């Protein structure tokens, strides 16, 4: 795993890799590494990790309101209703660090201080996209060396917007060595945790 990290003071190693991050990120990374049997690296605010050839840079973190009616996904609507439409929108710049055209390989999850792991909401994310931004649900691709912007939006309870950690991971479907019939299952093959700045 290769990572680019801006000049940071007091950077330390975590989970056997480059980085450090907050104490909570380090502990969470250690848990995920054991639980998923996959190496994990944690990084402080401002770092730019590379996962599966994609350099991920956080441009901004904002609290926005999304009307549940704006989502076509029923489960997302229910979550929006429960949390009063409170959404944490993470604007990202994704750079293809490979010599080939690639899709958006890594997936993003949000870990909040209440211990919950939250997935990207398609409707809420689409509402935050500007002209020229990538919509990951339309199978976009990024050319070699190109950078494209996108937004990953997560429904969160009010009061849980600060201290969030972004999980960037990649899974692959492979034969399960523990299955006597050799059936395939999803395995995490790469994962990093990135501390997010507090919302603007």
Alpha carbon of residue 195 to chain centroid: 11
Q: Is residue 37 scored above 70 in pLDDT? A: yes
Summarised one tens digit per residue, pLDDT across range 106-140 is 899 999 999 999 999 999 999 999 999 988 888 78
Q: How far, in Å, CA of 142 to CA of 174, rounded?
A: 25
Average pLDDT score over the chain: 87
Residue ranges of the domains in the chain? 54-195
Percent of the chain with pLDDT over 70: 90
Q: Model pTM?
A: 0.86
Number of alpha carbons in the 13 Å side-chain half-sphere of residue 95 = 12
Residue 3 has pLDDT above 50, yes or no: no
Q: Which pLDDT score is estimated for 180? A: 87
The per-residue pLDDT for 38 is 93
- Note the pLDDT of residue 6: 38
How many angstroms separate the CA atoms of 19 and 10, rounded? Answer: 10
CATH 1.10.10 fits 54-195, yes or no: no
In this predicted structure, the answer to whether residue 68 has a pLDDT above a threshold of 50 is yes
Q: Say which DSSP state 96 is in.
A: E
**184-195 and 117-119: which strand pairing?**
unpaired
Per-residue pLDDT at 15: 35
Kindly report which listed range (20-24, 91-95, 145-149, 163-167) carries the lowest average pLDDT score. 20-24
What percent of the chain is modeled with pLDDT above 90? Answer: 68
User: Do the Cβ atoms of 39 and 18 come closer than 8 Å?
Assistant: no
């Amino acid at each position: 795993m290769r990572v680019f990290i801006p000049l940071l003071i007091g950077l330390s190693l975590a989970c056997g890799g480059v980085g450090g991050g907050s104490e909570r990120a380090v502990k969470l990374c250690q848990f995920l590494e054991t639980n998923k049997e996959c190496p994990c690296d944690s990084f402080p605010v401002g770092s730019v990790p590379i996962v599966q050839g994609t350099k991920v840079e956080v441009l901004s973190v904002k609290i926005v309101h999304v009307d549940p009616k704006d989502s076509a996904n029923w489960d997302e609507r229910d979550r929006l209703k429960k949390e009063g439409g409170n959404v944490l929108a993470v604007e990202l710049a994704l750079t293809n660090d490979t010599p080939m055209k690639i899709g958006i390989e890594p997936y993003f999850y949000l870990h909040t201080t209440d211990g919950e792991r939250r997935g990207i909401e398609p409707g809420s994310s689409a509402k935050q996209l500007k002209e020229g931004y990538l919509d990951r649900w339309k199978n976009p691709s990024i050319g070699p060396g190109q950078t494209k912007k996108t937004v990953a939006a997560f429904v969160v309870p009010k009061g849980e917007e600060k201290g969030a950690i972004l999980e960037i991971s990649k899974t692959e479907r492979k034969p399960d060595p523990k299955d006597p019939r050799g059936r395939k299952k999803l395995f995490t093959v790469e994962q990093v945790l990135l501390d997010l700045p507090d919302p603007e």
